[in-house]
Each structure stands twice: as structure tokens, then as C-alpha cells.
Structure 1
């Protein structure tokens, strides 16, 4: 089984899993894969919206039920949650709508919102709206990148799968290094 077949078979599962957490890199690549014909663009957007909404709702509920315990157990998370709580108290609507675009606070924000006075109904509505904005926007950037790149690099189709895999691996390495440095600085 070659990489293009793997993308076609498991791409949406990867989009869903990536959207539960951070998601931009996976969604950008999925948008590119949709342009190349490996994935259906509408399915990519729908799956990313679903994953984003479920992931943020999970973290919100975890913050609502276990926020204080999480902060006690993970002091580094506590710093980010306190910073996020300060932002939320000033303007909860803007923060909830923008949280999918807040790199580095993606998990801390919904946990903090769960610990705030924001009702779960208000969070759910705004979270769904945020996912509805985020998924097509990010996937479209990947799709447009594919459209812009394709005419200029004729031989790209032979190696694009490996480039996509390399980008995912690089993104994971960067994420792990940043996380390790963050833990070391505490």
C-alpha cells in the first residue's frame, strides 16, 4: 500500500484526531490533499469541525469538573490557565470565537473557560461557531496552497506524499521540543 492510498483511507481519521487537539498542520495538509484529489474537501471540513467541537467541549467539561485538580497536578498548565482566565473575564465571546486560532493556548483556553462563569450552553454555541469558521478557513489555505503550487512544480506529485509526511514529522518534533523547553524552564 503506497502513501497516497494511506492518505485516501486514513486521512479523515487523522484529520479528526488532529482537530481534537491543535490541528492546523494536519488540516492544512488535508486541504492540500483535497486539492490533489486524495480527500474530499467537504468531508475534510466537516470532520475537522466535528473534531474541533468535540475536543474543545471535552477540555471545557474537564475544566468545569476537574480544573483545580488539573492545575494542582500540572503547574505549567496552571500558568496558562490563569493567563487565559484573565482574558476570558475581559471578553468571553471574542476569546471563545478566537480560541481555535490561539496557538499554545488551545487546550488551556477551553479548560479555563470551563473554570469561568461562562455557561455550557453559551460555550457550546460559540464553540460550534468557532469550529464552523476555523475548519473551512484553514482547510482552504491548504487547498489554495496546492492550487498555487501545482502549476509551478510539475514533478511534485512524485514526492508530495513524502513532503507531507516530512511536514507532519517536523511539526511533531517542533511541538515536542517546545513542550520540553517549556517544562525545563519551570
Structure 2
């Protein structure tokens, strides 16, 4: 089953699940579907935000519960995990708010944060605010890319063509995140 089929078949539930499992590509695709009038904007942004929130909260709780488990101990030896913890130590609140926007740190960060002494309540509140912003931003970007493609190529009628704006947006965002990451790892 393709990404667009998941959202087409399951609507907002597919967007919720896709936001938590896959992330930006699904949400951008959802934004293009909003542009086409296949789903409403605010419920799509809410579904994306909730999917991201639930997934990151689950990863945080897994990190918290299993911080002494051998698998988590092995994860702590990986460079991305160590980088997440170093960044968290320098700017804990900013990092909790921003990790979902950082390429390569999105999945490992809530687990790493779960191994720290950060209060669960603090993570929950920051995670909720960041997820709301993330869902709104990526649905809006998908909507905007839908507008740009429609302006460039005319009205897109077939949902099979929805992959193009999602891939274009993912490529642009990937390049931006890569450049930012490269700048800070020097």
C-alpha cells in the first residue's frame, strides 16, 4: 500500500498514524490533499499533531522505563544518541521543543530525553506545544506546495500525483536540515 493510498483510504486516521510512524512526508501529502479539498485543514493539522505527539510521548516513556535495558544501553553508544544528549544538556527546553524539526534526531531524541532526569510533565507540555506547531507547519507546507504545483501544472485531479509535492517538499526540507546539521557538526 502506498502513502497516498493510506491517507486516501483512511483519511484523518491514516494521517494520524502516518505522522507518528513516518513523519513529514505523510503530513506534507496530507497538506496537498487538504489543498485538493479531500480533507479539512484544521482536522488534518490536528491529526498530524496528535500522531506526532503520541509517537514521541511513547518513545519518551520507553526511554524512561527501559533506560537500564541492554538495548537502550547499546543505543546510548551510537553517535546520534550521544549528540542528542549533548544538545539536550546545553539547551534542555529548546531541544525538547525543536528535536522533531532536526533531521536524523527525530526518533532517537525522545528516547534519549527519556533517559534523563527531565520531568515527564515538562516533556509532555513541551511535546504537545511542539507537536501542534509541527503539525500545523507541515500541513500548511503541503497545502502551499499543492498550490504551487497547481499553479505550475494546472489542477491536479488524480490523487496518484500527490507523491510529487510530498517528495519535492521532503527534498527541500532534507537539504535544509542537512545544511543546518552540517553547519553545527563542524
* TM-score normalised per structure 2: 0.78
- Deviation per residue, 1:117-174 (Å, 9 max, x gap): 211011001000101111111110110111222133126324xx223357779x8xxx
Secondary structure at 1:156's aligned position in 2?
Answer: coil
1:132/1:75 CA distance change after superposition, 3 Å: closer
Deviation at 1:68, TM superposition (A): 3.4
Q: Structure 1 regions of 5+ residues with no counterpart? A: 172-186
Match of 2:40 in 1: 40
- 1:164 aligns with one of 129, 151, 162: 162
Match of 2:103 in 1: 103
- Deviation per residue, 1:90-126 (Å, 9 max, x gap): 1111101111111211111000110112110110010
* TM-score normalised per structure 1: 0.78
Alignment RMSD (CA, Å): 2.7
- Equivalent pairs, count: 166
1:140/1:16 CA distance change after superposition, 3 Å: same
**Structure-to-structure mapping, 1:13-162, within 5 angstroms:** 13-69=13-69, 70-72=71-73, 74=75, 78-154=78-154, 156-158=156-158, 161-162=159-160
Q: Structure 2 regions of 5+ residues with no counterpart? A: 171-186
Match of 1:177 in 2: none
Could you tell me how far apart the structure 1 residues matched to 2:80 and 2:6 are? Answer: 37
Higher relative contact order (CA 8 A, sep 6+): 2
1:155/1:36 CA distance change after superposition, 3 Å: closer
Contact 1:22 1:106 in 2 (8 A): no
Could you tell me how far apart the structure 2 residues matched to 1:135 and 1:127 are? Answer: 12
